[in-house]
Amino acid sequence: MTQTANVAGSAASAASESPVLEIRDLKTYYFLERATVRALDGVDLKLEEGTTLGLVGESGCGKSQMAMSVMRLLPSPPGKIVSGEILLRRRDGSTVDIAKLDARGSTMRNIRGGEIAIVFQEPMTSMNPLLTIGDQIAEAVRVHQKGSKKDAMDRAFEMLTRVQMSAPQQRLREYPHQLSGGMRQRAMIALALSCNPSILIADEPTTALDVTVQAQILDLMRDLQHDFNSSIVLITHNLGVVSQMTKKVAVMYLGRIVELATTSDLFRHPLHPYTEGLLNSVPVLGRKGKQVLMPIKGMVPSPTEKIRGCPFADRCPHVMAKCREERPELKEYQTGHFAACWLHD
C-alpha cells in the first residue's frame, strides 16, 4: 500500500514539475504568391503550471501568430505550421502535440475552449454580433461540458458574476454592441473561463481600454487565475503591465525569442540590446536628462527577407562583424536567464 502511494505521489510530482505547455522549434510560415513570410522562425518556449508568462515585442514580431498557432486558428491557406512541436499536458496527464492535430478535428475542438482559451484584443470583432452574451457563453459550456440549456445559462450567469459584471442577469440578454468596451472585455473573459481551461492566452487584453478599466481587468485576471489555477500567456507591448502581472518574460523579435528571464531579472539586467532598447523607450515620469525617450533606431526587417546573421544587427548599437555572419542561438548565460546575442558568448 505504501509503495503504491509512493509511486502515485512520484507521478503527481513529476506531472506538476513538467510544463503545461512546451513549444519546440516552432516554425509558422505564410506562403504567398511572390514570397514566404516567416511569422515564427524557430520558437522555443515553456509555460509552467499556475504562472503568468509575458510575451513582448514590437508589432509584427510574431506574438499574435504564436497564439494563433497554439490555438490552430491560422488562416489556411496561406498560413501553415511547417515544423516544430506544441506539446500540451492535458488534464488526464497525457501529452498531445497540437501541431500534429487536425485543426478542424474533434480533438482540437475539445482542446480549443475546453483546455486552452483565448481573450482577443478587441472582443467586438471576436464575439458573434447576432447572439446575446448569455447564449454565447452557454453555447461554449454545452459544447465542452454538456448538460442542459438551463444549466449552461446558470453557468453563464455565474461567470458574469465572477467577472464583476454589473447587472449580470440583464447582460445575459444583451448583445455585444450594447456593452461598453470594458464590459465586452469582461464578457470575453467570462466566455474564455467558462469551461475552466488550464491555459488562458490573453492577446493585448487591455489595449483599447482606458487606464482605470485596464487596472480593473488586470486585477480581475489575477484574481481569476488564483481561483481557477490557470496558466496565462499575456501578449502585450505594455511593459508596465508585464512588470505587474508576469513571473517570466519572453522577448520576441522577427519571429524568434531573443531573451527569456524572470521578470525581475529582465527589468534589472537585460542581456539583449533589443530588450534594453525596449526598456529605454518607455516613458518614465521624472526621468532626468535631455533625451526623455530613447527610441530604437531603424525598422524591423521584413519577415520575407533572408538574413544571414543576427536579425537585429542593423539596429544594434553594439554590432560586431560576427553578428552579420552568424545567427546567435538562445543560450543560458545566467541562471534562468537566456539570450540570443554574441555580446555574452
- Tell me, what's the pLDDT at 28? 96
pTM assigned to the model: 0.87
- Tell me, what's the pLDDT at 292? 64
- Tell me, what's the pLDDT at 10? 41
Report the run of H or E that residue 64 belongs to, with start and end. Answer: helix 63-71
- Please list, in sequence order, all residues whose beta carbon lies within 8 angstroms of the beta carbon of residue 135, skipping any fewer than 6 positions away: none
What are the φ and ψ backbone dihedral angles of 30, each rounded to 5 degrees? -115, 120
Nearest Cα to Cα of residue 206 among 219, 196, 193: 219
Report the run of H or E that residue 235 belongs to, with start and end. Answer: strand 231-235
Q: Cα–chain-centroid distance for residue 325? A: 32
- Tell me, what's the pLDDT at 291? 58
- Amino acid found at 4: T
DSSP state of 272: S
**DSSP-derived 3-state class of residue 339:** strand
Tell me how far apart the 2 most distant CA atoms of the chain are, in Å: 72
Taking 70 as the pLDDT cut, the residues of the chain under it are 1-17, 208, 284-292
- Tell me, what's the pLDDT at 269? 94
- Tell me, what's the pLDDT at 306? 85
* Burial status of residue 301 (CB atoms within 10 A of its CB: 0-12, 13-18, 19 or more): middle
- Tell me, what's the pLDDT at 286? 62
Judge contact between 216 and 192, C-beta under 8 A. no
112's grid cell: 480549443
Q: Is the dihedral of CA 67, 98, 101, 28 positive or negative?
A: positive
What b/e sequence results for 153-174 when a residue is b if at least 16 CB atoms lie within 10 Å of its CB, and e otherwise?
A: bebbbebbebbebeebeebbee
DSSP state of 125: H
- Tell me, what's the pLDDT at 290? 54
- Tell me, what's the pLDDT at 167? 92
DSSP state of 245: H
